[in-house]
Structure 1
């Protein structure tokens, strides 16, 4: 039995699967990641500050206009479409085998593919809010703003993307729900992440079952703890392993 057949068998034998994904899920929709050789941190940029600096809370506060110039150009990929991984996970949820998708991505592609229960650890570009009055705005409002810094149409406050910047804490409600889903899962599939960014990577440690599957192009620190490791494209693997019933 090869690895794909093993994965297919494990999926068929499970009824409460949780998927935990990272940037590698979105790169297959042509959204660049951060840390790979082609990633955001290693590509030359016209911006004078490094991405890590520009994606920090303090930079947002002190250089708001420069933040939004960078954010619009480098973090928003409005035309990106769900790939095989997104579509297959949505299919698995429809079959009532997958109970939750936990993602480190902010692009909303899981929801566009049809997934209903998506826990976004780092927020979403599709949610934005006025820092003064709390009014919610969608992505189009931010993109269509005549000002570099989008402002609330009611009170004039700055409209901030609901994404977790460096120096900001993760949403504890999302963390607690993620931990609960992982603890209750009878299978945990981790895909498209090198599992080096904490605290998100530490969520894997809450899984105590015997069907931990890691799908990533490169090795991870958790490979030795996994029941199955597949070093390949997440979309290709899920497309082969998740067949329509």
Structure 2
């Protein structure tokens, strides 16, 4: 049944010319990057309290417990050894042949760009960008990885903060507006690797005016009943097989 659905997906891709992809954590788990929600026990015990993943990456925790925040951040959110998987690569191919107009991602790993995608809207920022909170000097992920404790700017000594959207912080309105415009203009929207429970990002689906909504996720989502096609399978496998043969079409 899933192979038949992949064939249907291939045909939808072939027929569409303004495709937008909206992805979540499931896109990068096949590159070895775990969903951070599954990795909190050690930190809860160390702090002698139950601290949820959302609290660990909240603005409040960043301000109140910066050493613990950066310890968690380095160990659980930076994966520089991770490489783009077949889903990332296939999306880059779809952009190269002129079908895919935008990738909208909730991920912060930068793997879409590494795979070759150029129009990537990062709703939650990126671990590959970091900045001094005072003088705004820029630092890369290697700097953060190599730092100890609270990272400090080599120019002015102030704290260097990841350019990621923490819980309690607002999304970048320019990025969000661009995502709304891209989805509104799309004739096909592909949603992959997300359970669609994190708002306001999940609400972006309401902006889609097209008639080809494809949901690819290992488990069911609240939007499945609205979709043209639902595939519960590996994103890498689905994209690898569906995009194969599209070049030149």
Q: TM-score when scaled to structure 2?
A: 0.93
Instruction: Find the partner of 1:5 among 4, 7, 11.
Output: 7
Partner of 1:28: 30
Aligned to 2:103: 101
How many Å separate the matches in 2 of 1:114 and 1:9? 23
Alignment match, 2:75: 73
Summarize deviations over 1:158-214 as a string: whole Å, max 9, x none. Answer: 000001111100110000000000000110000001111111000011001100000
Instruction: Find the counterpart in structure 2 of residue 217 from structure 1.
Output: 218
SS in 2 for 1:31: coil
Q: Which residue of 1 aligns with 2:115?
A: 113
Q: Which residues of 2 match residues 201-212 of structure 1 at below 5 A?
A: 201-212=202-213
Q: Deviation of residue 5 (structure 1)?
A: 1.2
- Report the Cα offset of residue 137 of structure 1: 1.1
In structure 2, distance between residues paired with 1:34 and 1:81: 18
Aligned residue for 1:238?
Answer: 239
Unaligned runs of 5+ in 2: none
With 232-241 and 45-54 compared, the bigger mean Cα shift is at 45-54
C-alpha distance in structure 1 between counterparts of 2:71 and 2:16, whole Å: 45
Runs of 5+ in structure 1 lacking a partner? Answer: none
Residues 138-177 of structure 1 correspond to what in structure 2 (within 5 A)?
138-145=140-147, 147-177=148-178
Contact in 2 for aligned 1:127/1:136 (Cα 8 Å): yes
Higher helix content, 1 or 2: 2
Q: Where does structure 1 differ by over 6 angstroms across 4 or more consecutive aligned residues?
A: none
Equivalence for 1:18: 20
Aligned to 2:219, what secondary structure does the other structure show?
Answer: coil
Given that 2:86 and 2:236 are in contact with CA atoms closer than 8 Å, whether structure 1 keeps it comes out as yes
Map of 1:53-72 to 2, 5 A cutoff?
53-72=55-74
Deviation at 1:44, TM superposition (A): 5.0
In structure 2, C-alpha distance between the alignment counterparts of 1:123 and 1:100, rounded to whole Å: 16
Aligned-partner Cα distance in 1 for 2:80–2:99:
30
Between the aligned partners of 2:205 and 2:8, the Cα distance in structure 1 is 21
2:57, 2:18 → 1: CA distance?
35
Change (3 A) 1:180 1:108: same
TM superposition shift of 1:136 = 1.2
Check conservation: 1:47, 1:70, Cα contact below 8 A: no
Aligned-residue offset at 1:229: 0.6
Conserved? CA contact 2:215–2:231, under 8 Å = yes
